């Protein structure tokens, strides 16, 4: 098997040096170069094109997002974002994910060398997952135009809530995704009408980024999208995204479904874990739920989706052709957890119509 060719692009000499040394220590990875900014990177790439780019966001001469958009428009290539944990950085990084980046590695402003040494397993995992990405699925498609949300929605909430009580007990949508999921979720959620079943989502993502990700989707979608908080109601027209670093569970409270956000051990190397969400949905929603597993590396969600199916839920897996990484849906299909395989573009139709195809 040929090695994964990696290019590191970061204005920090420490990051470039440490990342290069750590990645080279993996026998499956070959670091073909490191560049202080995208201009130098482009010069190196003209001589040898990498399989994966590890990219900082804030850099001189050309920022990472501009560089990423250029790459995705000219020659789509898997990119792993390596960004600092700041609110501003989180918003910027979400723009990068929307532009086609496949994963995020968070780094602190201080203690970089120690952090990178401790996080080498996560970094190599991200690089290897990115190397499996389907380049044709990385270039972002233009989002469908949606009507702006009316401010009167908040005023009409009590009436909608009363009506939603019966609807919520009828159908809940649970979605799990990982690598490539930010783009996939944007395509699905922006296609939904304002009135659709309540949705709970686990997207593998670090702390501090999920709030910015949810805010971005909320600005694009007709439905309300927000980072889940403990006790949030799951109602029609609302999608709740699990906070990074916390597990999201669905609970029943009388005729209502509510979100429970908890700490806990890492499950399947993830917190939040798709398996945790899917199991909770299987237990308290059963046949009233639809489970959807989408693009991602690994097997998180496969066991939970099977539990949902066994509890009477309808289950959907994204097809290989439209996945950035066909890992999670493939494993779920192998275990017999998937009842219907669909391309990404058809998943919104299942949610909005609540049909079991």
The set of catalytic residues is: 178, 204, 300
Q: Classify 312 in phi/psi space as left (phi over 0), alpha (psi -120 to 50) or beta.
A: left
8 A C-beta contact, residue 281 and residue 289: yes
CB half-sphere exposure, 117, CA atoms < 13 A: 5
8 A C-beta contact, residue 85 and residue 208: yes
Rounded Cα gap, residues 315 and 110, in angstroms: 44
8 A C-beta contact, residue 50 and residue 77: yes
Quickly list DSSP for 177-233: E-TTHHHHHHHHHHTS-SS--EEEEEE---TTHHHHHHHHHHHH-SSEEEE--TT-B
- Angle at which helices 274-284 and 302-310 cross, to 10°: 10
Strand partners, 105: 82
Strand partners, 9: 35, 55
8 A C-beta contact, residue 39 and residue 27: no
8 A C-beta contact, residue 228 and residue 200: yes
Instruction: List, in order, residues 6 or more apart from 122 with CB less than 8 Å away.
Output: 105
CA–CA distances in Å: residue 94 to residues 12, 20, 91, 188, 320: 21, 25, 5, 17, 25
- Of 180, 184, 247, 263, the C-alpha closest to 217 is 184
Rounded Cα gap, residues 147 and 264, in angstroms: 39
- Angle at which helices 120-131 and 13-24 cross, to 10°: 70
């Amino acid at each position: 098997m040929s090695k994964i060719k990696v290019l590191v692009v970061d204005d920090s000499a420490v990051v470039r040096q440490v990342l290069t040394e750590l990645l080279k220590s993996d026998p499956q990875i070959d670091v073909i170069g490191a560049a202080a900014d995208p201009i130098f990177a482009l010069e190196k790439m003209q001589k040898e094109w990498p399989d994966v780019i590890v990219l900082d966001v804030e850099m001189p001469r050309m920022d990472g997002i501009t560089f990423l958009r250029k790459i995705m428009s000219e020659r789509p290539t898997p990119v792993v974002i390596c960004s600092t944990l700041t609110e501003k950085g989180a918003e910027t990084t979400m723009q990068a994910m929307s532009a086609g980046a496949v994963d995020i590695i968070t780094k602190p402003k201080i203690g970089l060398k120690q952090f990178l040494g401790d996080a080498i397993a996560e970094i190599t995992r991200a690089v290897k997952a990115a190397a499996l990405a389907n380049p044709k699925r990385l270039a972002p498609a233009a989002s469908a135009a949606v009507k702006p949300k009316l401010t009167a929605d908040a005023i009409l909430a009590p009436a909608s809530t009363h009506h939603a009580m019966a609807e919520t007990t009828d159908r809940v949508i649970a979605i799990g995704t990982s690598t490539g999921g930010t783009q996939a979720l944007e395509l699905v959620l922006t296609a939904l009408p304002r009135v659709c079943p309540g949705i709970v989502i686990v997207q593998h993502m670090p702390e501090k980024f999920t709030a910015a990700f949810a805010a971005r989707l909320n600005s694009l979608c007709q439905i309300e999208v927000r980072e889940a908080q403990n006790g949030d109601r799951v109602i029609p027209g609302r999608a709740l995204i699990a906070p990074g670093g916390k597990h999201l569970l669905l609970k029943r409270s009388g005729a209502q479904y509510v979100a429970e956000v908890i700490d806990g051990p890492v499950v399947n190397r993830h917190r939040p874990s798709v398996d945790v969400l899917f199991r909770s949905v299987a237990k308290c929603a059963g046949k009233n739920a639809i489970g959807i597993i989408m693009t991602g590396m690994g097997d998180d969600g496969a066991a939970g989706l099977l539990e949902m199916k066994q509890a009477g839920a309808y289950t959907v897996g994204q097809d290989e052709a439209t996945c950035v990484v066909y890992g999670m849906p493939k494993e779920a299909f192998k275990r017999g957890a998937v009842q219907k395989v669909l391309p990404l573009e058809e998943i919104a139709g299942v949610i909005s119509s609540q049909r079991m195809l």
